[in-house]
Structure 1
């Protein structure tokens, strides 16, 4: 059971790291964007990555996807489509 928890923490931790890297990439691209359309696109993608990161962190806390979604729902109400 402890090994399974350790594997879960490792895998979800890795996913969190990748979400943060994707966020950083989209923010970099946003800064380089020359048109409003691409700025809006990369801004939305960056917001989505933050949402994914928060969901993964909540999942680690609860180890239950539905509880994790409920936990962050209010935080992101209207934040992303």
Structure 2
């Protein structure tokens, strides 16, 4: 009985998955000067896969796209845990 309850609890838990398009470093002066239409150059190539982090831990690589009209990421690789 408790196994069934535990399973139900686990299956109803929400898990945070985050991906970043890229990162960059700028000065506070540059930040204060941002306006609509400005372009921010990120430190990666558009052909590089994105890293998907599950609860803050890198777990997958994939590429952005669209699925049934929704923004999506197609997973292309599982990141193996080190150690």
TM score, norm. by length of structure 2? 0.30
Between Structure 1 and Structure 2, whose CA radius of gyration is higher? Answer: 2
Higher relative helix content: 1
Higher relative strand content: 2
Q: Between the two structures, name the one with larger relative contact order (CA 8 Å, sep ≥ 6).
A: 1
